[in-house]
Amino acid sequence: MSSALIRCFVAIDIFSPEIVRAVRAVQQELLESGIVGKPVDPESLHITLIFLGELEPPIVERVKERLMGLEAGQMRLVLRGVGYFPGGSRINIVWVGVEDTENRLAAVQREVTSRVSALGFKPDKDFTPHITIIRVKGVRNKSGVLSKISQLSSHFIGEVVVNSVKLKKSTLTPQGPIYEDLYVYGPNPSA
């Protein structure tokens, strides 16, 4: 009998009441401009450092162990600008940009990647710090949507201070993903 696979990633959670309000307002503007899609719950915002995929429980434990002692330190991040992936005329994901003036976020991401690479994990793309805010299913008014995204390309969302990294579980549901912290690395690590 095989164990159920666990969909995992390593991330930094972003949460503050001000950020939640600002993201909700931007999501509403974008949906009104013609995006058809699923807004991400603003109380579940995060920066993915590396997506690990669906893992067997013993591998999750090995990842947890490889990340032991990881210290993110305190990072001040500025959330500014709205953009989309993959680019050009295709809009699959709408995101908010993350500015890291001290380059600490990139250093933490490299450290996480280095630690899990010993287990065979490699990033599937270059690290572009962002926070997904809408998963797009379609667009009713492409020129209007692109214009709105352009208007918001340098829009200030807020600032946040973070100091922990999390190994997270993602359970996909029809209502959207449900996230659960498997382990917290930082000043108050999980027991």
Q: Which residues contact 20 (CB under 8 A, 6 or more apart)?
A: 42, 43, 45
Strands 46-55 and 6-13: antiparallel
Active-site annotation holds for 130: yes
Active-site position among 10, 23, 46, 105: 46
CB atoms within 10 A of CB 97: 18
The verdict on whether 155 is a catalytic residue reads: no
Question: How far apart are alpha carbons 134 and 41 in whole angstroms?
Answer: 9
Residue 78 forms beta bridges with which residues? 99, 159
Question: If we measure between CA atoms, which residue out of 138, 173, 158 comes closest to residue 76?
Answer: 158
What is the number of alpha carbons within 13 Å of residue 120 lying toward its C-beta? Answer: 5
Tokens of 99: 């500015």
Options 66, 115, 130, 166, the catalytic residue? 130
Residues annotated as catalytic (active site), given as ranges: 46, 130
